[in-house]
A = this chain, B = another copy of it.
């Protein structure tokens, strides 16, 4: 259900590091937001140097844009964003100063996966039962 989009310089992350970060993000999201990790998508935009700027100068940030369904308890999202940011630095070695994590959201009813409208937070179990039934 969620998607994390990681934007970095092409040279910043090799394939094994991307896979490791994707695994860690799936694990964190699954544990905190009660979604099977099989539903956690991670996308990398690995950009040429001339396509990334901070303060108008070429830079090498790691920007992680997450998307979740509206309505998770605030404390849960607070924990999620902190753990995602910690993991981003820990897994990639990119210093925290260059890591920016942003979590956005939309109502679950404005998202469809597997042909079905997503469940509101707290309704995952019934939805998943339907998914396998």
Contact = CB atoms under 8 A, between A and B. Distances in A.
26 contacts: A1-B100, A3-B63, A3-B65, A3-B100, A3-B102, A7-B43, A19-B50, A22-B56, A22-B57, A41-B63, A42-B52, A43-B45, A43-B52, A44-B50, A74-B109, A77-B109, A77-B110, A81-B110, A81-B112, A85-B115, A96-B114, A97-B115, A100-B111, A101-B112, A102-B106, A102-B111
A30 to B, nearest CB: 9
A117 interface: yes
Interface in A5-37: 5, 7, 15, 18-19, 22-27, 37
Nearest to A100: B113
Contact of A103 (B38, B46, B111, B115): B111
Given A78-B117, A102-B67, A117-B82, A18 B112 contact: no
Interface residues of A, number: 66
A17 B7 CA distance: 21
Given A23-B56, A81-B111, 17 more contacts: A3-B102, A15-B50, A18-B53, A24-B56, A25-B56, A26-B53, A37-B55, A41-B59, A43-B51, A43-B52, A43-B63, A45-B47, A82-B112, A85-B112, A96-B115, A101-B111, A104-B110
